[in-house]
Amino acid sequence: MPRPSETVSTGYYRGFTNEKCEFFPCHKGVKKEFNCLFCYCPLVFLKCPGPYRVFTDKNGVVRKNCTDCTLPHDGLERSWKFIQLWLGKLTPWNGQAQAERRPPQDLSESAPQ
Protein backbone atom coordinates (compact mmCIF):
# COMPACT_ATOMS: atom_id res chain seq x y z
CA MET A 1 0.00 0.00 0.00
CA PRO A 2 1.55 3.36 -0.97
CA ARG A 3 2.25 5.99 1.64
CA PRO A 4 0.11 9.14 1.28
CA SER A 5 3.20 11.16 0.27
CA GLU A 6 3.73 8.77 -2.65
CA THR A 7 0.25 9.47 -4.05
CA VAL A 8 0.72 13.21 -4.69
CA SER A 9 2.93 15.01 -7.16
CA THR A 10 3.59 18.11 -5.03
CA GLY A 11 5.33 18.65 -1.71
CA TYR A 12 2.80 21.13 -0.32
CA TYR A 13 2.06 18.86 2.64
CA ARG A 14 5.59 19.53 3.91
CA GLY A 15 4.82 23.03 5.06
CA PHE A 16 3.46 26.49 4.54
CA THR A 17 4.14 30.09 5.55
CA ASN A 18 1.38 31.93 7.40
CA GLU A 19 2.37 35.57 7.00
CA LYS A 20 -0.99 36.67 8.46
CA CYS A 21 -0.24 35.05 11.82
CA GLU A 22 -0.14 37.61 14.64
CA PHE A 23 3.13 36.12 15.85
CA PHE A 24 4.89 35.86 12.46
CA PRO A 25 7.83 35.56 12.42
CA CYS A 26 8.04 33.87 15.80
CA HIS A 27 11.70 32.90 15.41
CA LYS A 28 14.36 35.30 14.19
CA GLY A 29 17.13 34.16 11.85
CA VAL A 30 15.18 31.92 9.44
CA LYS A 31 16.87 32.39 6.07
CA LYS A 32 14.69 30.24 3.77
CA GLU A 33 10.92 29.94 3.43
CA PHE A 34 9.51 30.10 6.93
CA ASN A 35 7.75 26.79 7.67
CA CYS A 36 4.78 27.21 10.01
CA LEU A 37 3.76 23.53 9.84
CA PHE A 38 5.60 22.77 13.07
CA CYS A 39 4.33 25.79 14.99
CA TYR A 40 4.61 23.68 18.11
CA CYS A 41 7.57 21.39 17.59
CA PRO A 42 6.73 17.69 18.00
CA LEU A 43 10.19 17.24 19.55
CA VAL A 44 9.49 19.36 22.63
CA PHE A 45 9.39 16.27 24.87
CA LEU A 46 12.09 14.40 22.95
CA LYS A 47 15.86 14.49 22.65
CA CYS A 48 16.82 16.82 19.79
CA PRO A 49 19.83 18.80 18.51
CA GLY A 50 18.08 22.16 18.44
CA PRO A 51 19.36 24.89 20.73
CA TYR A 52 17.22 25.11 23.85
CA ARG A 53 17.39 26.40 27.39
CA VAL A 54 15.91 24.73 30.45
CA PHE A 55 13.65 26.44 32.96
CA THR A 56 11.44 25.38 35.85
CA ASP A 57 7.82 26.49 35.58
CA LYS A 58 5.70 27.78 38.50
CA ASN A 59 4.63 24.19 39.27
CA GLY A 60 8.22 22.98 39.58
CA VAL A 61 8.23 21.15 36.23
CA VAL A 62 11.47 21.32 34.23
CA ARG A 63 10.72 22.38 30.64
CA LYS A 64 12.49 23.32 27.40
CA ASN A 65 12.50 26.87 26.06
CA CYS A 66 13.00 26.41 22.30
CA THR A 67 12.64 30.09 21.36
CA ASP A 68 16.12 30.18 19.79
CA CYS A 69 15.59 27.06 17.66
CA THR A 70 14.82 27.58 13.96
CA LEU A 71 15.39 23.99 12.76
CA PRO A 72 11.70 23.07 12.34
CA HIS A 73 11.03 26.37 10.55
CA ASP A 74 14.01 27.02 8.25
CA GLY A 75 12.94 26.04 4.74
CA LEU A 76 10.01 23.82 3.82
CA GLU A 77 12.07 20.86 2.56
CA ARG A 78 14.86 21.04 5.15
CA SER A 79 12.54 21.42 8.13
CA TRP A 80 10.35 18.52 6.93
CA LYS A 81 13.40 16.24 6.64
CA PHE A 82 14.67 17.35 10.05
CA ILE A 83 11.42 16.48 11.83
CA GLN A 84 11.02 13.17 9.97
CA LEU A 85 14.58 12.17 10.86
CA TRP A 86 14.18 12.87 14.57
CA LEU A 87 10.69 11.35 14.81
CA GLY A 88 12.10 8.19 13.21
CA LYS A 89 13.68 7.09 16.47
CA LEU A 90 11.96 8.53 19.50
CA THR A 91 14.19 9.24 22.48
CA PRO A 92 12.51 10.94 25.45
CA TRP A 93 14.19 14.11 26.72
CA ASN A 94 15.79 13.49 30.10
CA GLY A 95 15.08 16.97 31.49
CA GLN A 96 18.73 17.94 31.47
CA ALA A 97 20.22 21.16 30.13
CA GLN A 98 21.79 20.91 26.72
CA ALA A 99 25.56 20.72 26.39
CA GLU A 100 26.95 23.84 24.73
CA ARG A 101 27.14 23.10 21.03
CA ARG A 102 25.77 24.35 17.75
CA PRO A 103 23.28 22.29 15.75
CA PRO A 104 25.01 20.38 12.94
CA GLN A 105 24.81 21.66 9.37
CA ASP A 106 24.15 18.15 8.08
CA LEU A 107 21.26 16.98 10.23
CA SER A 108 21.68 13.36 9.15
CA GLU A 109 24.93 13.22 11.10
CA SER A 110 23.08 14.00 14.30
CA ALA A 111 20.36 11.37 14.14
CA PRO A 112 19.57 9.81 17.51
CA GLN A 113 21.31 6.51 18.23
Q: Is residue 5 part of a domain?
A: no
Q: 49 is in which domain, residue-wise? A: 35-102
For residue 39, is it within any domain?
A: yes
Task: Let me know if residue 64 belongs to a domain.
Answer: yes
Dihedral (Cα; 40, 43, 85, 81), 10-degree rounding: 20
The verdict on residue 82 lying in a domain is yes
* Number of domain units in the chain: 1
The residues that bridge with 13 in the sheet, in sequence order, are: none
Alpha carbons 81 and 65: distance in angstroms, whole number: 22
**Does 97 map to a domain?**
yes
57 inside domain = yes
* Tens digits of pLDDT across the chain (113 residues): 877 778 888 888 889 999 999 988 888 888 888 889 888 889 999 999 989 999 999 999 999 998 889 898 888 999 999 999 999 989 999 999 987 655 555 555 455 55
Instruction: Say if 110 falls within a structural domain.
Output: no
Domain assignment present for residue 93? The answer is: yes
